[in-house]
């Protein structure tokens, strides 16, 4: 889908040739010399200011190029990056947004083959540093990686269940990147961006599938496929094994369902001496709320309640492809749906989790923490990880607190929390840390059991995390509540309406940069 070419842009035959431009206040935008005259004319006329997402489409038949030579591309697109940024993470996001804009524009004009001329940092950086003296440099590989992510993520579509329509814009078949930097650097960066973006798109696919298609069994099949392709060990715990192990949380949520639950476990072991990172993703393939039934309006979106599991298992696809040498990665996806059949768990029931802790069920719609609790307790006891990260569309309360713009982060370890915050900034998937403490744990104390599964409306996101904290002991742990960002995420050129694939790229970045954790 993405290749590097050393061919001169004006001689490369494509449907669309793309250049980028950086906005400058009251001055002509910074751009490649090849389009400088055109950009200057557009700027003088007030038709182009290089604002983020701003584009100008030109037809090669109507203009010359260089010394009067018409470019081989059918069209030329000039896309604005916005004003120069000092921070590398912000520059990466500018490039991703530009990539998403390019993909969208290419689809509109039905371009199948697109060449993107990467911003020539060696050429334009001196001019940008005149504006921002403290600006951090971004290298060629990072430039190619960020642009590739934006192109692939922005090219995404899900129309598997639509009739064929010749008028519907098709995704771009092939993107090419070119630049003055070494081809090996560009190739390395483009590959990293492609692998990560494809994984995020896979997570989107899983979430877009209806609940009658993407079932717990599909999670298990995908895990087995990763085993076949990459050698990652996949185990699937079935219902009888869960009963034997005493996984009362997963079993309780599954009681009203016609489909059995699965606990999908993936094991990537690079070296037994390496630190082990454990990932846990909520795989609730449809959430009716159970006996505590959700309102009918919008319930169709509850097929997205497995986005945490989708992110985790898709990140493991990247682990399989890249085979990191410095870390072991374990992934657990507890998968079931939450239905209100005749045997469904009821408010007031008491269940026993793996490990023996009892829980009073106050609300059957607070089910995600029940299945995660068993997976966390089992995974920590079985694998003794150095750190644990769980992802879940867990609470509506996080949307009230943070909207659809940031993922809620709660952790018992500052170092782990800091790494996740940094990974989120790097990938354009920001998180916001919320507190934990005994005052919140007190809200989930039960008069008839060890704990209860809700602490009421106040601090709902925090008390849900406090529930999970009961099952991690002293292990460094972080919980990411993606209920507000898994779908309906901040509008961006590379994020479609519906599932965003959130946290897949954050997890990949976390794994790629993993080092032994400070236990504080």
**Which three-class secondary structure string do you get for 24-63?**
ECCEEEEECHHHHHHHHHHHHCCCCCCCCCCEEEEEHHHC
Backbone angles phi and psi of 439, in degrees to 5: -65, -30
List 369, 419, 452, 492, catalytic entry: 369
Q: Does residue 243 have an active-site annotation?
A: no
Element (H, E) at 350: strand 350-352
CA diameter of the chain? 84
Measured CA distances, 301 to 225, 295, 489 (Å): 27, 12, 14
d(CA 147, CA 167) in angstroms, rounded, equals 28
DSSP string, 489-503: -S-BTTB-SSB--TT
Q: Does residue 92 have an active-site annotation?
A: no
431: left (phi over 0), alpha (psi -120 to 50) or beta: beta
Short-list 497, 463, 483, CA closest to 302: 483
Distance in angstroms between the alpha carbons of the first and the last residue of the chain: 43
Residue 232, SS3 per DSSP: coil
Alpha helices, DSSP H only, in 115-247? 121-131, 140-154, 183-208, 216-230, 239-245
Cα dihedral 352, 357, 360, 363 in deg (nearest 10): -80
Residue 478 tokens, joined: 């972080």
Give, as one character, the DSSP assignment of residue 120: -
Residue 75, SS3 per DSSP: strand
List 36, 51, 235, 294, catalytic entry: 294
**∠408-90-45 over CA atoms, to 5°?**
130
Residue 311 tokens, joined: 């992110």
d(CA 257, CA 290) in angstroms, rounded, equals 9
Active site residues: 294, 369
């Amino acid at each position: 889908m993405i290749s590097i070419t050393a061919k001169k842009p004006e001689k490369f035959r494509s449907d669309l040739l793309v250049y980028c431009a950086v906005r400058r206040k009251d001055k002509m935008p910074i751009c490649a010399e090849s389009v400088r005259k055109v950009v200057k004319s557009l700027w003088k006329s007030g038709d182009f200011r290089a604002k983020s997402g701003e584009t100008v489409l030109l037809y090669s038949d109507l203009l010359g190029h260089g010394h009067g030579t018409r470019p081989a591309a059918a069209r030329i697109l000039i896309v604005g990056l916005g004003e120069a940024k000092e921070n590398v993470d912000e520059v990466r996001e500018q490039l991703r947004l530009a990539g998403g804009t390019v993909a969208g524009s290419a689809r509109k004009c039905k371009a199948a083959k697109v060449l993107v001329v990467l911003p020539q940092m060696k050429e334009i950086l001196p001019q940008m540093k005149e504006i921002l003296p403290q600006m951090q440099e971004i290298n060629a590989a990072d430039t190619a990686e960020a642009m590739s992510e934006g192109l692939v993520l922005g090219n995404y579509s899900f129309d598997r269940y639509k009739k064929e329509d010749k008028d519907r814009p098709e995704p771009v078949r092939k993107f090419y990147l070119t630049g003055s930097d070494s081809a090996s650097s560009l190739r390395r960066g483009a590959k990293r961006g492609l692998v990560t973006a494809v994984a995020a798109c896979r997570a989107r696919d899983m979430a877009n599938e209806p609940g009658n298609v993407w079932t717990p069994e599909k999670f298990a099949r995908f895990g087995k496929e990763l085993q076949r392709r990459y050698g990652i060990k996949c185990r699937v715990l079935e219902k009888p094994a869960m009963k034997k192990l005493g996984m009362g949380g997963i079993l309780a949520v599954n009681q009203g369902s016609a489909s059995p639950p699965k606990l999908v476990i993936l094991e990537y072991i690079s070296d037994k001496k390496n630190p082990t990172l454990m990932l846990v993703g909520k795989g609730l393939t449809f959430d009716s709320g159970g006996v505590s039934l959700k309102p009918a309006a919008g319930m169709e979106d509850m097929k997205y309640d497995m986005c945490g599991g989708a992110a985790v298992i898709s990140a493991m696809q990247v682990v399989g492809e890249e085979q990191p040498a410095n870390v072991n990665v374990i992934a657990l996806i507890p998968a079931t749906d939450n239905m209100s059949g005749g045997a469904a768990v009821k408010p007031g029931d008491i269940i026993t989790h793996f490990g023996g802790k009892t829980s009073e069920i106050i609300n059957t719609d607070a089910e995600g923490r029940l299945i995660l609790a068993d997976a966390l307790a089992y995974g920590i006891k079985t694998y003794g990880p150095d750190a644990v990260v769980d992802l879940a569309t867990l609470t509506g309360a996080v949307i009230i607190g943070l909207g659809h713009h940031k993922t809620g982060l709660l952790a018992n370890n500052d170092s782990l929390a800091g790494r996740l915050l940094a990974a989120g900034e790097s990938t354009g998937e920001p998180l916001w840390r919320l507190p934990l403490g005994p005052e919140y744990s007190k809200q989930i104390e039960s008069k008839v059991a060890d704990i209860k599964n809700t602490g009421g409306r106040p601090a709902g996101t925090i008390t849900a995390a406090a529930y999970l904290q009961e099952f991690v002991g002293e292990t460094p742990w972080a919980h990411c509540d993606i209920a507000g960002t898994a779908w309906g995420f901040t509008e961006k050129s590379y994020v479609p309406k519906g599932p965003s694939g959130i946290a897949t790229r954050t997890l990949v970045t976390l794994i790629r940069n993993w080092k032994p954790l400070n236990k504080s």
